[in-house]
Amino acid sequence: MVLRLSRSQLAMLSAVILTGVGLPALSADEVAPGEASAITDAPPVEKKKEKKEKKSKDDKKKKSSDAGKAEKSDAADKSDKADQGDAKTQESASATSASDDPNRPYNDGARREYNQGVELHQQGFLNQAIAKYRAAIGLEDRMEEAYCNLGLIYAAQRNYSKAVEAFKKAISLKPGNPYTLNGLGTVLYAKGKLNEALENWKRAAEVDPTFASAYFNIGNAYENEKDNSKALENYVQAIKVNPGMADAYYKIGVLFAKQKHIAQANTMLAKAVQLAPDAEFVTEARKQLNTIEGSLSRTDGAEPQVKMNIVAPPAESN
């Protein structure tokens, strides 16, 4: 587990290092190591000479002591500076270690820019949202959510090259995001790259088996390839994991209608309209429902298709 320290905690840590390490201060009475006065057994001399020699010794001792103190002071200053350098290095290393942690929280500025981008995105102000997402990325280059949303906007604007670039960057930061994989698959499909699109959609479904949009997109691709069996299989899986996906009910209803399964088509189309009465497909769904209703009513009141020829009994002979 990586220890995360706030800026104030790092400052406190540095202060502890600076004051807790280094040579102890020397008092004015202490002498430098190795410079202590030696006790000699020299014979006594006359007083004047003795005083002169004593004074000379005292002066030499004082100079030696002062020189020792100066060296001590210089050594202490150098040590303090070295300790400060070590503290700054450790602080920098700690900050670098924290910045290299991919699981650390995003910084406040990046989150603020991103959230503003989401609001603009949801309101339909796409160019302004792009600017906010890019500002967030400028503060946190590892913010894969911002890259993913950029990809969605570029895809909506049909700027597929930029969309692919944004989605791939997001995937490089977080390979297991089904939204990004699904988005990349959609753009690749729009560019005519069916197999690559299917690969990304299937990967999204593997990452999150409850991700209904991936199944729907796979079904839609197979339907366009005239593989109705695989299309129906994936649409059914989509409503299995998301019973509220109206688009999938509509698609199933259309396929059933093509296969002349009228009753089942009627049920699915009616369900789709019930779930999303304002969806784009509703107008077409209602047309098909009216057609099915007319077909069913004609069937109910129709005469038997096989006419019976009644043969008159033979006339009686006299």
Q: Over the stretch 78-125, which tens digit does the pLDDT of each residue have?
A: 656 656 665 555 555 544 445 567 678 899 999 999 999 999 999 999
Within-domain flag for 251: yes
* Residue 226 CA: distances (Å) to CA of 97, 212, 222, 237, 247: 54, 21, 6, 18, 18
Q: What is the DSSP letter of 315?
A: P
DSSP characters over 81-125: HHHHHHHHHHHHHHHHHHHT-TTSPPPHHHHHHHHHHHHHHHHT-
**Alpha helix ranges (H) inside the chain:** 7-20, 47-99, 108-123, 126-139, 144-156, 160-173, 178-190, 194-207, 212-224, 228-241, 246-258, 262-275, 282-301
The residue among 246 and 94 whose pLDDT is bigger is: 246
Q: C-alpha dihedral over 153, 158, 160, 161, to 10 degrees?
A: -90
Decide if 130 contacts 153 (C-beta within 8 A): yes
Residue 117 placed within a domain: no
CA-based angle 271:242:197, to the nearest 5? Answer: 110
Q: 294 pLDDT band (50/70/90 cuts)? A: confident
**In which band, very low, low, confident or very high, does the pLDDT at 257 lie, cut at 50, 70 and 90?**
very high
Residues 6+ positions from 213 with CB-CB distance below 8 Å: 182, 204, 238
Per-residue pLDDT, averaged over 290-309, amounts to 63
Looking at the predicted structure, is the pLDDT value of residue 199 above 70? yes
Q: How confident is the model at residue 217 (pLDDT cuts 50, 70, 90)?
A: very high
Q: Is residue 190 part of a domain?
A: no
- Pick 245 or 6 by higher pLDDT: 245
In this predicted structure, which of 172-186, 231-245, 300-314 has the lowest mean pLDDT? 300-314
The domain spanning residue 294 has which CATH number? 1.25.40.10
pLDDT for 295 equals: 78
pLDDT for the residue 39: 26
Question: What pLDDT does residue 315 have?
Answer: 55
How many domains would you assign to the chain? 1
169 domain residue, yes or no: no
Assess if residue 220 is contained within a domain.
yes
Does residue 258 lie in a domain region? yes
CA-based end-to-end distance of the chain: 117
288: nearest Cα among 259, 261, 253: 253
pLDDT of the residue at 317 = 53
- The answer as to whether 15 is a domain residue is no
d(CA 148, CA 177): 9
Is residue 129, in this structure, part of any structural domain at all?
Answer: no
Q: Please say whether the beta carbons of 239 and 247 come within 8 A.
A: no
Whether the predicted pLDDT of 11 surpasses 50: no
DSSP 69: H
Domain of residue 235: give its range. Answer: 209-299
d(CA 203, CA 293): 41
